[in-house]
Structure 1
Amino acid sequence: MKKSIIKMGILAAFLTVQSACNTSLDLDPTSVITNASFWKTEDDAKGGLTSLYVKQRSLASLNLFIWGEARSEVMEWGKVSGTLDYDRYYLNTLSSVSAGPSWQAIYSAINDANLILKYVPTISFANESDKNNLLAQTYVSRAFLNYILVRTWGDVPIRTEPVEGAEPSVIQKERSPQTEVFKLIKEDIEKAISLYASYGFIKSRNYWSKAGAQALKADVFLWTAKRLNGGTADFQTALGACDEVAKADVSLLANYADLFKYGNKNNKEVIMAIGNRELESGNNYFYNLYSARLPNEVDPSTNEIIGQTAGGMVWTVTDLAKNQFKVGDLRKAASVLDLAAPGFYPTLILKGRGTVISGVRYFTSDFVIYRYADVLLMKAEAKNGLGQDPSAEMNQVRQRAYGSNYEANKFVNGSKVANDAAILQERLLELMFEGKRWWDLVRFGKAFELVPTLEGKSSLKHLEFFPISEQVLSLEPLVKQTSGY
């Protein structure tokens, strides 16, 4: 145990040096010496993978929500606290000097993946399948990270070599076309799938698995089908990937609200979730969606639902999004709560409110990357893209959503355009606050139509992406700002 702790300390120091290498070409490349002493054993490899997962968790604590949902029609000011500058997202006033989270943390995680992929193949494992699983998780992690990049910024630098010294050719990269980035993403996914031994989950659903890789594959190919003219071939690949996910031990839970109960993590609907535990990680983005200021007049039944409160509540759900829940949709009560109390109190977001321990609320709900309902809706989207009837998948989701009110809300196949609109709205209601909405709007080509702060700006296509911050531009001279910003 002592040896493992020492090695993890070396890894942390090594990664810190690496990060510094990205900001200066004059540093002595001491990480080369550290590499020579570190990447020797199976424990070293597992330590490297742990570091990669920790960095993905850090991204999920806030940034994935900012990039994946904050600019959509879902969010607005909470009117309880300040804005923490989050208004630049839902008002869509981003600029190079107010660009939001930079890509540096993503590339730091990618660098961890690149180190693993360089050194682990030469390390002996007691069980070769363990080695293959570790490499598979690394490939799918790198694909996922690059997928975040390309959806958020479009053309981005491709980094497949770890930064270990001060060579400018490794550190400084130009932006590569999206087509090249997606080529790498798809290659990494296929390598991952080929390395997994089965559709079983590894330890828990907080690790990338073969089912998770297939879910990511479906997502990626739907994006390229619609955004990069992938058309029929990509829709067909996405459809096949959705069918592959179903080979794993996954299914819809009978009760939608059970998905988000703190004691029900890693349930059968979850395919991949980034894990959080109290006293192990800090609060995630739900902290700012849950108010610490509630009226003394809250009735006992409401107070029992809310429980101990904490948080700043700098933003909340818009009426535009919330009011799209129809009467009888059971998902609304599991997602939001309007307080029946005197005065004005914003809607509380219930999905990720964590747990209460000794009177303190810890916002440590897992960040779900993929769950089976998401895959069913991706399958419906792929089928519709191929001119097939998506009713079966849509109605699996709606049956749970409406319960006894299902027959009045049953999906009926229509035109491709009408079906796409219905699928997009269903994704809003099913996946609200799960970091999906902005990217869904961009994929479906509806951001300028459905986001009020973007109405009338459809000619400004650069607004579908985030700008690159002045800090990144100063550190990476080969990187040019997105045209339009």
Structure 2
Amino acid sequence: MKPIKNIIFFATALLMGLAACKDKLTEVRPETSLDPNVILADASSAYALYNGVYASLRGYQGTLFLLGEMRSEIWANGIFTESEDGTFRQFWAQDFSEANAPLSNWGGFYGLLNRVNTVITLFPKAPLDAATRDRYRGEMFGLRAYVYYNMLRTWGGVPLTTEPLKEIGDLSSLYKERATPELIMQQIKADIDSSLALIGSTVSYATPSNPANNKRVYWNRAATLTLKGDVYLWSGTHQGGGNTDFATAKIALEEVGDNPLFALLPNYADIFDPLKENGNKEIIFALNYEKDQANLSSYGNFLVNTTQRSTLIFNPENPVSVVSAYPYVGGANRVGLSPALITQLTSSTPSDSRVAATFRTLHNNSAPYALRGVILTKFLGRADPISSSQIYDTDFPIYRYADVLLLLAEAKAKLGESPKAEIDAIRKRAYGPDFKPFTMASITENLNAILDEYQREFIGEGRYWWAERRAGDAYVYNRIDPKYLMPAQAYKLLLPISVSMLNSDPKLKQTPGY
């Protein structure tokens, strides 16, 4: 193992039990340490530490997408033009066991958490004005709650750490048992409260370190409130909170819904147009992608390669419409939608405007122009007018206003209230003035109507699986093919941890059921 420069990330890897490092610990000669006198020497150092968290968070987009997208039935048994992506298949086929555990090392989330914990811990003494220090720490409390919430939904109980690592000592001092799901949820809710108290009562996206910012790429009060609604719906459903938690969720979401900074954009495709991101009223918080900084590169398996494009067309009714080089060529085509789901999504009357902005179907270029697969077009970015190459710089939404509406609809449905206003708003944007208005029915029917909108609204955004899970286990079993998941396999709703993690840390125990 080579010496590393960042003691924080190395120690985090050790904490998660990378066995290969056990006998090489003595080789480590860190060149830096977590010295507050160095890190907080001046305001620019503090700003760099703060902005580094957002740069680090961006690196987890692919993991967040995988966890929230690929376990649902959307991509199950789909068609594609090349060999299938095995990782994606493992997720939608629910193919998990102790010997076949995905995302070893807790998905790497503890590296991000250590950065967040560092800001939370050190910033009370940062050379910044008090309001700025409080706001930045409030953002970090919100981000920490969001990360732990994703881990809770994925693995259940996980190791809980709220302090940054300061130095590497004996390896055994880094062992840490899994906290209970109840304790993790308690920490998430406490962090949400801290976030709201520190950020204050207003929503702002410009920061002292980036005063000209008009993109919604910094955590903020509305993001914490949306997370609060999401979290309390989960705890009300899965941790015994019931109507008390549902009512708490409703209040938080209504505050966001009433804020004039946010609204549904009239044109669904505009949400994902990288040239229309400044002041985008639908975005609450997104991961930032910019030319010459970072590309949103996790969707390569939803494109086609140069060789394949010569055999494919988009529109059978217009056989000369070959797949052009940009923006569709730049990867492979290894995952797709099933023909049945494509028909379901494209055959509604009136037509659903979300479909055209989300994917395009691929067909053979000769009669009878058989369906070959789909290209996910939602995050294609734009063509660079200078180089004529494709720039994948669409910001990736973590929360947007449609989330708020459907989360609020869920809170109302679970409280026995009508979610008509929220569902109708989503449908009107999708189908136009001839949309089919929502009709109040049973709680089960109402939640299924909400899930139907989730399925269409958020394809490719990593939300639908979590909506199914949050609705309740019965909704998951009713929507996923029982050959992949059934009530007798309820333990598979959470992921196992790897054998190497268990062998490396004697305090770790396997996820129940595996």
Residue 302 of structure 1 contacts residue 339 of structure 1 at CA under 8 Å; is this kept in 2? no
Q: Distance in 2 between matches of 1:146 and 1:219?
A: 13
Structure 2 residue matching 1:405: 3-state secondary structure: coil
Please show how residues 185-200 of structure 1 align to structure 2 within 5 Å: 185-197=188-200, 198-200=202-204
Residue 384 of structure 1 contacts residue 390 of structure 1 at CA under 8 Å; is this kept in 2? yes
Structure 2 residue matching 1:346: 3-state secondary structure: strand
Residue 416 of structure 2 contacts residue 443 of structure 2 at CA under 8 Å; is this kept in 1? yes
Indicate whether 1:155 and 2:157 are aligned: yes
Query: Pick from 432, 442, 446: which aligns with 1:415?
Result: 442
Under a length normalisation based on structure 1, what TM-score does the superposition of the two structures give?
0.90
Structure 1 residue matching 2:110: 3-state secondary structure: helix
Taking only aligned residues, the RMSD between alpha carbons, in angstroms, comes to 2.4
How many positions carry a matched residue from both structures?
471
Q: Which residue of 2 aligns with 1:335?
A: 358
Task: Supply the AA of the counterpart residue of 2:291.
Answer: E
Q: Which residue of 2 aligns with 1:74?
A: 74
Structure 1 residue matching 2:86: 3-state secondary structure: coil
Residue 326 of structure 2 contacts residue 390 of structure 2 at CA under 8 Å; is this kept in 1? no
Structure 2 residue matching 1:80: 3-state secondary structure: coil
Structure 1 residue matching 2:336: 3-state secondary structure: strand
Residue 376 of structure 1 contacts residue 394 of structure 1 at CA under 8 Å; is this kept in 2? yes
Q: Which residue of 2 aligns with 1:322?
A: 342
Indicate whether 1:13 and 2:6 are aligned: yes
Identity of aligned residues (%): 28
Indicate whether 1:271 and 2:271 are aligned: no
Residue 221 of structure 1 contacts residue 235 of structure 1 at CA under 8 Å; is this kept in 2? yes
Task: Supply the AA of the counterpart residue of 1:92.
Answer: Q
Residue 14 of structure 1 contacts residue 34 of structure 1 at CA under 8 Å; is this kept in 2? no
Structure 1 residue matching 2:300: 3-state secondary structure: helix
Q: Which residue of 2 aligns with 1:8?
A: none
Q: Distance in 1 between matches of 2:107 and 2:91?
A: 19
Structure 1 residue matching 2:487: 3-state secondary structure: coil
> Structure 2 vs 1, CA of residues 12 and 480 (structure 1 numbering), >3 Å: closer, same or farther?
same
> Structure 2 vs 1, CA of residues 75 and 456 (structure 1 numbering), >3 Å: closer, same or farther?
closer
Q: Which residue of 1 aligns with 2:380?
A: 353
Query: Pick from 489, 492, 497: which aligns with 1:468?
Result: 497
Indicate whether 1:251 and 2:263 are aligned: yes
Residue 46 of structure 2 contacts residue 127 of structure 2 at CA under 8 Å; is this kept in 1? no
1:36-86 Cα shifts (integer Å, max 9, x gaps): 4223332222222222212211111x1111111111101145532333422
Q: Distance in 1 between matches of 2:291 and 2:126?
A: 34
Q: Which residue of 2 aligns with 1:120?
A: 123
Q: Which residue of 1 aligns with 2:316?
A: none
Structure 2 residue matching 1:288: 3-state secondary structure: coil
Query: Pick from 446, 451, 454: which aligns with 1:424?
Result: 451
Indicate whether 1:313 and 2:333 are aligned: yes
Residue 309 of structure 2 contacts residue 323 of structure 2 at CA under 8 Å; is this kept in 1? no
1:340-391 Cα shifts (integer Å, max 9, x gaps): 5435531111111122222322333221111101110100110111111110
Indicate whether 1:220 and 2:249 are aligned: no
Residue 264 of structure 2 contacts residue 401 of structure 2 at CA under 8 Å; is this kept in 1? yes
Bigger drift between 33-42 and 96-105 goes to 33-42
Under a length normalisation based on structure 2, what TM-score does the superposition of the two structures give?
0.85
Bigger drift between 319-328 and 214-223 goes to 319-328
Residue 81 of structure 1 contacts residue 313 of structure 1 at CA under 8 Å; is this kept in 2? yes
Please show how residues 272-311 of structure 1 align to structure 2 within 5 Å: 272-292=285-305, 293-295=308-310, 298=313, 299=319, 303=323, 307-311=327-331
Q: Distance in 2 between matches of 1:300 and 1:46?
A: 53
Task: Supply the AA of the counterpart residue of 1:268.
Answer: K
Residue 287 of structure 1 contacts residue 353 of structure 1 at CA under 8 Å; is this kept in 2? no
Residue 91 of structure 1 contacts residue 453 of structure 1 at CA under 8 Å; is this kept in 2? no
> Structure 2 vs 1, CA of residues 140 and 434 (structure 1 numbering), >3 Å: closer, same or farther?
same
**Superposition deviation, residue 219 in structure 1:** 0.6
Residue 29 of structure 1 contacts residue 164 of structure 1 at CA under 8 Å; is this kept in 2? no
Q: Distance in 2 between matches of 1:35 and 1:95?
A: 43
- Which segments of 5 or more consecutive residues in structure 1 lack a partner in the other structure? 1-10
Indicate whether 1:385 and 2:397 are aligned: no
Residue 253 of structure 2 contacts residue 407 of structure 2 at CA under 8 Å; is this kept in 1? yes
Residue 132 of structure 1 contacts residue 196 of structure 1 at CA under 8 Å; is this kept in 2? yes
Q: Which residue of 2 aligns with 1:175?
A: 178
Residue 200 of structure 1 contacts residue 248 of structure 1 at CA under 8 Å; is this kept in 2? no
Structure 2 residue matching 1:411: 3-state secondary structure: coil
**Superposition deviation, residue 35 in structure 1:** 4.6
Bigger drift between 354-363 and 44-53 goes to 354-363
> Structure 2 vs 1, CA of residues 17 and 210 (structure 1 numbering), >3 Å: closer, same or farther?
same
Residue 29 of structure 1 contacts residue 165 of structure 1 at CA under 8 Å; is this kept in 2? no
Please show how residues 356-371 of structure 1 align to structure 2 within 5 Å: 356-357=383-384, 358-371=387-400
Residue 250 of structure 1 contacts residue 372 of structure 1 at CA under 8 Å; is this kept in 2? yes
